[in-house]
Chain A
Amino acid sequence: MKKKWIALTLFSITAILLAGCDNPLLIFDPKGPQARTLSSTILFSIAMMAGILFVVYVLYTFVLVKYRASKLPDDYEPPHEEGNKWLEIIWTTIPVIIVVILSVITVSSTSTVEQKSVAYADQKPVVIYASSSNWKWHFSYPEEGIETVNYVNFPANRPIEFRLYSYGPITSFWIPQLAGQKYAMSDMVTKIHMSADVPGSFMGKNSNFSGKGFAQMEFEAQSLSDADYKEWVNDVKTTAPKLTEDEFDDLLKAEHVGRKTYSSNHLEFRPAPEGEHSGHHHGGATSTDDQHEGHEDMDMDMDMDMDMDMDMDMDMDMDMDHDAH
């Protein structure tokens, strides 16, 4: 028993080290403030959990070595033990403390990564809409007036705000080295904040199973220096074709396509499901919560959407509709 566990621990440690030496695991190789927060949160929790495992394993090894029948005299009869109030209080209280610590860390890191990072707080974020259809990603730049498919470029050292939605099944937008993932759904827009500290190319993917072509649903996310980004946008605007409604419909229907670049975007004729186009008309009719009534009033809905995370956070009713987001 014991030998097996020692072997197993050694094996796992070597496996982690091997994987970690030349090439750190993706999640522990963050390239932006949000992903860095997540990476250190995870490392901290691993350390804490290792502590718990250590205590359990030491006790476990101790009892198994000491109280095996073969090592005890034949006439040994184990005592009757009801329990021990103090011991039980101890092993309830310590986990409570651990959970409290982890809760504090969770709440603070969750709210950190759900916002523009402090490092770039003074800059206006670059807004990019990312929508999924079948097994591809569309990136629309409302300010630049351009659109790409299956790759996205953005400036480094700037806050980026992705707004996510889907033409079809739920997908999950994930660039592990820059930020944690978030769902893209067909009836609402969710937001994800990230920034890259350095220019570079990162793997992005859909991580939520969405049907047959799901495994291939990857894209490249590239952060460029400010100058390179400007040059790229200019290039696109002057050389790329316009995205017509027909072409967009064809794109939506296609299963997979390669990279595409357009000098206009589909938001103009096919707006994202936010504000007055939001699918959030459901829920309002049956609910008593007056926030839901707000959905009837389009302007107000729009305001709320701009600040969805902030306003809705306070909306603590757990009713089972989107409005709880």
Chain B
Amino acid sequence: MKWDEFFVTGEPMIYAAMVSIVVVSLAIPIALTYFKKWNWLWTNWLTTVDHKKIGVMYILAALLMLFRGGVDALLMRAQTAIPDNGLLDGQHYNEIFTTHGVIMILFMAMPFIIGLMNVVIPLQIGARDVAFPRLNAVSFWLFFAGAMLFNISFVIGGSPDAGWSAYFPLASLEFSPTVGNNYYSIALQIAGIGTLLTGINFLVTILKMRAPGMTLMKMPMFTWSVLITNVIIVFAFPVLTVALALMTLDRQFGTQFFAMQSGGMDMLWANLFWVWGHPEVYIVILPAFGIYSEIISTFARKNLYGYKSMVVSMVAISLLSFVVWAHHFYTMGHGVMVNSVFSITTMAIAIPTGVKIFNWLFTLRKGKISFTTPMLYALAFIPIFTIGGVTGVMLAMASADYQYHNTMFLVAHFHYVLIPGTVFGVIAGFHFWFPKVFGFMLNEKLGKLSFWFITISFNVTFFPLFILGLNGMTRRMYTYSESTGYGALNMLSMVGALGLTIGFIILVYNIYWSVRYSPRNIKGDPWDARSLEWSTHSPVPEYNFALIPTVNKLDAHWFAKKEGKPLATGKYEPIHMPNNSGLPVIMGAAFFLWGFFMVFSWWIPAIVLGVVILGTLAYRSFEKDHGRYISVEEIERTENALRGEQHEN
């Protein structure tokens, strides 16, 4: 292979990206060395098995990916803002919408949610940790390895270009001969295994590690939503694993599972992809529902209305999410019967979703609503997401979908669900739980400013796409002619995308501002909230709870505050904690390199790295590491320090 095949060449933007990547990757180690921070980084972050720190790393990575995916989005909008625009060529546009889709869903939305889950779930169920702390670190590093592998594709070897759904035969070696789609199959595989491990880990955590007294029906709604999400992960991700493995075999080992020369089935891919892919959209939306439930009840100062029906409807959604996948290809020529069945199951999902909307509205009724930043996102979610929901019902009607399929109407619909649903959800959760983790608040003024930019611009960006779709504009078109008349609305959409960019920049500036200037010494419960995580200190000590709380009802923390009774009493005892470990990050690095060699079909180094990976696993199984104990004196010292600081305030 020649160097100019190895590196992507010929585009000024790519060269700029290469330069900045090199600069950043040199700057980081130099800065770390200069400030003597290597040790700090290694012991505090890279080797950590603390679920809160792992959560923070997930969220940082997700924010980074939000910006990468956002730049892609902006480029796409810029390209299509004007008819016959020459900013990007077809190939480049195809790579951009493919990586945008993959990154936003798999490397932004999902890790952001998993990050919040990591930070919050053990706290919310009154546990000291997750069930398998070391495995949790492995999950993170696998996700991170996958994400980085996917991201280097655009400078080394070329990005995938067959859409995030990578339909065959387009994604086969015959029609996508570059290594681009190898990146897709290998990077998603690595990250996907990480996700599956997370699923198992949190399932066990929630089922086994709840505080005494917390029965399933006394769990906070966010915990419920995460429990159900992880059930979906455990059922859906193995399908992805298999599909991607077959894809790799097809592309790199000459099999014909999906490729078409000798009887492969293109639709087998479509089916497998969406059997995973549709549940995947619920994996990113259900936890957001949970976050909104927490936030709405907190800032309406009311318990969640219809708790039981909320739980039932989430269970219903999770079941239905597995029986609707064929709505992604109504136009594939299955008959009326099959299309009708899938139409009905799909529309049925609207019923439990509607139940939830009304429950939120009735939680607000008779409440005492205060408009904090997280609450603003939650409130904006309701009307905007409803538009996404009703257009989803419209798409579910098979006959009508013959007209919407593959158009901008669809693009508008799924952004109307994903952005107010998932993205607003994680941002709301980020603002909400930020003080818990870091011990200071994000600035509310800046928070609200960016909220208004984001919500208004979101609608300006995506509403026009509904109209464009009904006017026959298809998705994934890098250009169109003036005579189509699509120009004006696309330009409007571009203006909106710029507004969104400003909103996100303010959000990041807010983090910077708050780190520097926000007052410290907040109390454990700055929002006057309801669930257990607010009963411990902010920032949370390593062991979460000095004394494990006992729960006797839903919102136990809230009632404990009202009655002035502490949730936990007794004497401190030594707390057992797991030791840090360098193995997970080493494993992540090995997976990254293995993936890289796999992508380029360099078998020898790939096999070597495969052996290294097995070696780390073997090493672990012989390792004698029983963790360590935090002594009573140390607990007392930490607790007094945390409490002492709070008294000053």
Flag whether B278 is at the interface (Cβ < 8 A): no
The residues of A that contact B400 with a CB separation of less than 8 Å are 38, 41-42, 45, 106, 109, 180
Docked-complex contact B336 and A114, CB < 8 angstroms: yes
Contacts of A238 in B (CB 8 A): none
Q: Give the interface segment out of A181-189, A229-237, A242-250.
A: A181-189
- The docked-state distance in angstroms from the alpha carbon of A92 to that of B472 is 35
A309/B370 in contact, CB under 8 A: no
- Give the complex CA separation of A88 and B307 in angstroms: 11
Which residues of chain B from 66 to 97 have any CB-CB distance to chain A below 8 Å in the complex?
90-91, 94
Q: Does A300 contact B (CB under 8 A)?
A: no
Interface range for A: 35 or more
A310 closest partner in B (C-beta) = B335
Any B CB within 8 A of the CB of A270: no
Question: Does B339 count as interface, using CB distance less than 8 angstroms?
Answer: yes
Residue of A nearest to B272 (CB): A320
Q: Does B333 contact A (CB under 8 A)?
A: yes
Taking the nearest CB of chain A, how far is it from the CB of B381, in angstroms? Answer: 11
Do the beta carbons of A183 and B333 come within 8 Å of each other?
yes
Do B390 and A53 touch across chains, with their CB atoms under 8 A apart? yes
Cα–Cα distance between A279 and B639 once the two chains are bound (Å): 71
- Distance, CA A66 to CA B361, complexed state (A): 12
What 0/1 readout, one digit per residue, does chain A (303-319) give for beta carbons within 8 Å of chain B?
00000111011111010
Bound CA–CA A218/B572 (angstroms): 74
Q: Given A27-B403, A168-B169, do A69 and B368 touch, yes or no (CB 8 Å)?
A: yes
Contact flag A180-B399 (CB < 8 Å), given A69-B370, A103-B344, A312-B335 = yes
Cα–Cα, bound, A188→B263 (Å): 11
Whether B477 and A214, one on each chain, are in contact in the complex, defined by CB atoms closer than 8 angstroms, is: yes
- Are A316's CB and B338's CB within 8 A? yes
CA distance in complex: A170, B405 (Å): 14
Which of A64, A190, A321 is within 8 Å of B364, CB to CB?
A64
In the bound complex, CA of A11 to CA of B496 (Å): 14
CB distance A56 to B386 under 8 Å? yes
Q: Quick check: B390 and A16 within 8 Å, CB to CB?
A: no
When each residue 58-88 of chain A gets 1 if its CB lies under 8 Å from chain B and 0 otherwise, what string results?
0110011011110010001111111110011
Chain B interface secondary structure, helix, strand, loop or mixed?
A: helix
B residues within 8 A CB of A53? 386-387, 390
B308: nearest chain-A partner, CB-CB:
A83
Taking a contact as CB atoms under 8 Å apart, the answer to whether B338 and A19 are in contact is no
**Chain A residues in 8 Å Cβ range of B268:** 320-321
Instruction: Tell whether A169 is near chain B: CB-to-CB under 8 Å.
Output: yes
Contact of A191 with B by CB under 8 A: yes
Q: Are B467 and A15 within 8 A (Cβ)? A: yes
The digit string for A158-182, where 1 denotes a CB below 8 A from any CB of B, is: 0000000000111010101001111
Known interface pairs A81-B303, A182-B402, A320-B272. Does A214 touch B475 (Cβ–Cβ under 8 Å)? no
CB pair A78 B300 closer than 8 Å = yes
User: Is B359 close to A, CB under 8 A?
Assistant: yes
Asked if B362 and A42 make an inter-chain contact with CB atoms under 8 angstroms apart, the answer reads no
CB–CB A81/B305 < 8 A: yes
Please tell me which one of the listed residues A27, A80, A110 contacts residue B399 in the complex, with CB atoms under 8 A apart: A110
B337 touches A316 (CB 8 A): yes
Residue of A182, A185, A191, A207 contacting most chain B CB atoms (<10 Å): A207
**Residues B335 and A203 in contact, CB atoms below 8 Å apart:** no
Assess whether B478 is interfacial by the CB under 8 Å rule. yes
Q: Does A269 contact B (CB under 8 A)?
A: no
Choose the segment among A94-102, A122-130, A143-151 that binds chain B (4+ C-beta atoms closer than 8 Å). A94-102
Q: Which residues in chain B, 222-273, are within 8 Å of chain A measured between CB atoms?
A: 260, 263-268, 271-272
CA–CA, A95 to B309, complex, Å? 15
Asked if A210 is at the interface of the complex by the 8 Å CB criterion, the answer is yes
A320 touches B271 (CB 8 A): yes
Q: How many interface residues does chain B have, given as a range?
A: 35 or more
Residues in A neighbouring B265, C-beta threshold 8 A? 187, 282-283, 320-322
Q: Does B167 contact A (CB under 8 A)?
A: yes
Q: Determine the distance from Cα of A188 to Cα of B260 in the docked complex, in whole angstroms.
A: 12
Residue with the greatest number of chain A CB neighbours at <10 A, chosen from B371, B393, B402: B402
* Chain A residues in 8 Å Cβ range of B396: 106
The answer to the question of B643 belonging to the interface, with a C-beta cut-off of 8 Å to chain A, is no
Specify which chain B residues have a CB less than 8 angstroms from the CB of A69 in the assembled complex: 368-370
**Bound Cα distance A295, B406 (Å):** 32
Contact of B383 among A35, A60, A179, A281 (CB under 8 A): A60
Does A118 reach chain B (CB closer than 8 Å)? Answer: no
Q: A258 in the interface, Cβ–Cβ < 8 Å?
A: no
Residues of A within 8 A of B368 (CB): 67, 69, 72, 76-78
CB nearest to A189 among chain B residues: B333
User: Residue-by-residue, is A28-70 near B (CB-CB < 8 Å gives 1, otherwise 0)?
Assistant: 1000000101100110011001001100110110011011110
Whether A215 pairs with B479 at a CB distance below 8 angstroms is yes
Determine if B402 and A113 form an interchain contact, defined as CB atoms under 8 angstroms apart: yes
Enumerate chain B residues within 8 angstroms of A41, measured Cβ to Cβ: 397, 399-400
Q: How far is the CA of A66 from the CA of B359 in the complex (A)?
A: 17
Asked whether A106 lies within 8 Å of B350 as measured between CB atoms, the reply is: no
Check A78–B351 contact: CB distance below 8 A: no
Partner of A183, one of B175, B326, B329, B366: B329
Q: Which of B456-464, B505-513, B543-551, B602-610 contacts A (4 or more CB under 8 A)?
A: B456-464
Closest partner residue, chain B, to A212 (CB atom): B90
Which residues of the partner chain B approach A282 to less than 8 Å between Cβ atoms? 263-265
A208 adjacent to B406 (CB under 8 Å)? yes
Q: Are A78 and B90 in contact (CB under 8 A)?
A: no
Q: Does B13 contact A (CB under 8 A)?
A: no
Query: Are A91 and B347 CB-contacts (below 8 A) given A172-B406, A181-B402, A214-B476?
Result: no
Question: Is residue A4 within 8 Å, beta carbon to beta carbon, of the partner chain?
Answer: yes
Choice from A8, A42, A110, A112 contacting B340 with Cβ under 8 Å: A110
Chain B residues with CB below 8 A from A38, complex form: 399-400, 402-403
Contact between B335 and A67 (Cβ–Cβ < 8 Å)? no
Contact at B470–A28, with CB atoms within 8 Å?
Answer: yes
B561 within 8 A of A: no
Given the known interface contacts A81-B305, A95-B351, the answer about A107 and B402 at a Cβ–Cβ threshold of 8 Å is no
Cβ–Cβ < 8 Å partners of A79 in chain B: 302, 366
User: Are A45 and B301 in contact, CB atoms less than 8 angstroms apart?
Assistant: no
Q: A251 contacts the other chain (Cβ, under 8 Å)?
A: no
CB distance from A194 to the nearest CB of B (A): 11
Output the least CB separation between A298 and chain B (Å). Answer: 16
A320 to B263, CA, bound (A): 14
The one of B334, B393, B463 in contact with A45, judged by C-beta atoms closer than 8 angstroms, is B393
Q: Which residues of chain B from 600 to 639 have a CB within 8 Å of any chain A CB?
A: none
Cβ contact within 8 Å between B366 and A78? yes
Which A256-273 residues sit within 8 Å CB-CB of chain B?
A: none
Assembled-state Cα–Cα distance A183/B272 (Å): 18
What's the least CB distance linking B621 to chain A, in Å? Answer: 37
Question: Cβ of B60: which chain A residues have Cβ within 8 Å of it?
Answer: none
**Extra contacts besides A4-B455, A95-B350 (10): CB < 8 Å:** A8-B459, A52-B386, A53-B386, A57-B383, A63-B367, A67-B368, A79-B366, A92-B309, A316-B338, A320-B271
B residues within 8 Å of A by Cβ?
90-91, 94, 162-163, 167, 169-170, 175, 260, 263-268, 271-272, 300-303, 305-309, 326, 329, 331-341, 343-344, 347-348, 350-351, 354-355, 357-359, 361-362, 364-371, 379, 382-383, 386-387, 390-391, 393-394, 396-403, 405-407, 455-456, 459, 463-464, 467, 470-472, 474-480, 485, 489
CB<8 Å pairs between A and B, sample of 7: A67-B368, A78-B302, A79-B302, A88-B359, A107-B336, A169-B169, A321-B267
Question: Considering the complex of A and B, which 5 residue pairs feature the smallest CB-CB distances, nearest first?
Answer: A180-B402, A313-B335, A190-B333, A83-B306, A49-B390
